[in-house]
Amino acid sequence: MNDSISNPVRRVDAYDKAAGYAQYLADMKFEGLLYGRLIRTPVSRGVLTGVELPEMPEGYRYISAADIPPGGENRIQMIKSDWPVFVSDTVRYLGQTVGILTGPDRQRLHELASKITVHCRTQEAAYTIEEGLACRGGAIHGDDNLFADFHLKKGDPEAAFSQADRIVEDTLETGFQEHVYMEPQGITAEWKEGKLVFHASCQCPFYIRKAVAPSVHMPYENIIVNQTTTGGAFGGKEHFPDVIASALAVAVYVLRRPVQVIFDRREDMLYTVKRHPSQVLFRTALDAKGRITAMDIDARLNAGAFESCSPIVLQRTIFSANSVYDIPNVNIRGRAVATNTVPSDAFRGFGAPQGIFAAEMHMSHLARELGTEESEFKRKYFLAKGGKTVTNGTVREEVLLEQMWSRAAELSGYYEKLKAYPPGSYRGIAPAFYLHGGGFTGSGEQEIINGKVRITGSKDGSAEILLSNVEMGQGTATTFSKIAARVLDIPLDRVKIANPSTARVPDSGPTVASRSIMVVGKLVERAASQLRERWGGTSDESVLVQYEHPPWIRWDQETLQGDAYPCFSWGVCIVEVSVDPGTWEVETLGVWTGHEIGRAIDEAIVHGQVIGGVNQALGYGGLEKLELSGGGFAQHTLADYSIPTSLDFPKVTSFLVENPYEYGPFGAKGAGELVFDGAAAAYAAAVQRAVDRKVERIPATPEYIMEITEA
């Protein structure tokens, strides 16, 4: 066995989690704890006209916008601050927070909560992208309901369209998706020695600190956020904890007692953020030989009621709208549309899965139309080193997709199966290709985050990593520790890493955007290497390093032109299905994936990410129907919202191809989101071949497959 860093180790958090020793928020004890229940609007849109309260027994309080302390403002500071802590007049979505009811006994709290009546004057609401664009009921945001309206241009699409031999049109749609982290959202806040202290299941402790500061008018040094062991997040705990924390901040400021809000599953499914539904319209110009000369793309995301991070999600959608293909002339418009649904927000892939699904299915439809085999058609357009992205940035790395394709095709028996299952044979196999830009989009890393990492060495020979990126099940506690141990040349168990507290760690940025290993891991590597220079394991030493942007990057945030990402991770996925001709139920017979992520810091952890990401994506593609119903969601229990079980999809065959990246630790790039990006498209394309009908949206449920085959 070689001594590659990729060789798996036992995860540093495995024992405590497997044995039940890990303390999650609900396990922690607080002296004099009060519970909080959020009181919500009963309508999707309107004006709050009053709240009728029952008589409050001693120890029970209802806290709302009127209780915001002097100097405080009724707003949650995310990227924008349009989302208020408590509704004071305008209601924008069903279940928006009106107030928080607190008290010592949950039974009593529940009884009191059920006696509160929230009165609203109802207005006509807009729920869908179409309704949002049409400003149904009047504009919710600005005068056009657009949180963002971006335009990209590559080459000369107008000229290419004017010379087109023919133009092919297509509309692709994706639905909402619920995160279904195992541990629901929850935060406890307390008042300690003049400071407001949060214990939060979250991805971004420093985001919470920033979010709550305006509402209680307190400086950052008096707000402390401690991440608690987090049972999954998938993006759902990037911004949404800010919403709970802000209400708690006001409550604890008033009460000076610890207050806890932990959602139950139903509440979590109904009232927390979801993946953005999308609608992507393509117009593609083909020349007489059937070659693509230009694309015109109109991408719309249902952003929900408040802006949150929708413009940045939208950027990733449009930057991914050509997937791995180098199309010479492209016009792209992207719009994030305000509606009266729960705000859409971050979810593994952050807009890329929508763009890639649309691009892959459109390419698949073009291949069908032209009578060309799908993989052969797609491979003609692969980006290569030096190729131009849709933002006119440059691909800097060798693109190994051909090599990955050969391996995946061989492992899956793709070409034999293609012959054996002609279109319409109710068996199908299809590929998807995808990429994921590493780290924050655009200039975020250097201009907004500028992450810092500290490593301290002690005279007992141990070292501690101090950073704000959280372990949430994805394995970062282990991978960061491996990087430090390897560079410092000390055993893994001599490296300590704890759940971060904003009072203790430097701000290395949020745990998002597949940046933890690539960007923050690099800081760990640099800090460890500097520490090694002056620490022999017999003294106390400390090193702080700060982010340095790769020097070659050119980016203009105003025009969205240049290198949107310093590098990309790449993937290929092949899915084989059979469709029951009687019930249109899909049996997935095989899944083969290959990924290029620079270098794996731990192969077992990456493999876990692949299996989890692919299954989550197959659920997105085939099972996870989440429909709006009267402004809420029709599927709001785990009985009705179907995430995959271990029987739904087969073993995932997975391989990695190495291609070390200079600015990642040991050559590592991002992996956590990439592995989600492609499987839904491969699944949909396999179903499409099986029934020989165009699949235009996901989830491709049996009901949908029936609709297209029986049409």
Do the Cβ atoms of 682 and 594 come closer than 8 Å?
no
Distance CA 477, CA 139 (A): 45
Distance CA 192, CA 223 (A): 10
Q: Among candidates 606, 569, 571, which has minimal Cα distance to 479? A: 606
Distance CA 408, CA 419 (A): 17
First to last CA, the chain: 57
Q: Shortest distance, CB of residue 187 to other proteins, whole angstroms?
A: 14
Choice between 106 and 283, CB closer to other proteins: 106
Q: Shortest distance, CB of residue 99 to other proteins, whole angstroms?
A: 17
Q: Shortest distance, CB of residue 614 to other proteins, whole angstroms?
A: 16
Q: Which pair of structure tokens corresponds to residue 155? A: 């080459």
Q: Shortest distance, CB of residue 26 to other proteins, whole angstroms?
A: 8
Q: Among candidates 341, 271, 308, which has minimal Cα distance to 81? A: 308
Residues of 668-699 as b/e, b for ≥16 C-beta within 10 angstroms? bbbbbbbbbbbbbbbbbbbbbbbbebebbbbb
Q: Shortest distance, CB of residue 41 to other proteins, whole angstroms?
A: 18
Residues forming the site for other proteins (CB under 8 A): 26, 35, 37, 106-107, 110, 262, 264, 267, 581-585, 623, 627, 629, 634-635, 639-640, 642, 644-648, 702-703, 706, 710
> In whole angstroms, what separates CA 267 from the centre of its chain?
20
Distance CA 530, CA 487 (A): 10
Choice between 215 and 635, CB closer to other proteins: 635
Q: Shortest distance, CB of residue 582 to other proteins, whole angstroms?
A: 4
Instruction: Give the ranges where 194-294 is alpha helix by DSSP (H).
Output: 205-216, 240-255, 265-271
Choice between 37 and 199, CB closer to other proteins: 37
Distance CA 294, CA 286 (A): 7
Choice between 23 and 629, CB closer to other proteins: 629
Choice between 306 and 704, CB closer to other proteins: 704
Q: Shortest distance, CB of residue 266 to other proteins, whole angstroms?
A: 8
Choice between 2 and 646, CB closer to other proteins: 646
Q: Which pair of structure tokens corresponds to residue 106? A: 């949950």
Q: Shortest distance, CB of residue 619 to other proteins, whole angstroms?
A: 9
Separation in Å, CA 178 to CA 55, 90, 269, 665, 681: 37, 26, 7, 32, 18
Choice between 2 and 107, CB closer to other proteins: 107
Choice between 133 and 262, CB closer to other proteins: 262
Q: Shortest distance, CB of residue 271 to other proteins, whole angstroms?
A: 13
> In whole angstroms, what separates CA 608 from the centre of its chain?
17
Choice between 351 and 622, CB closer to other proteins: 622
DSSP state of 378: H
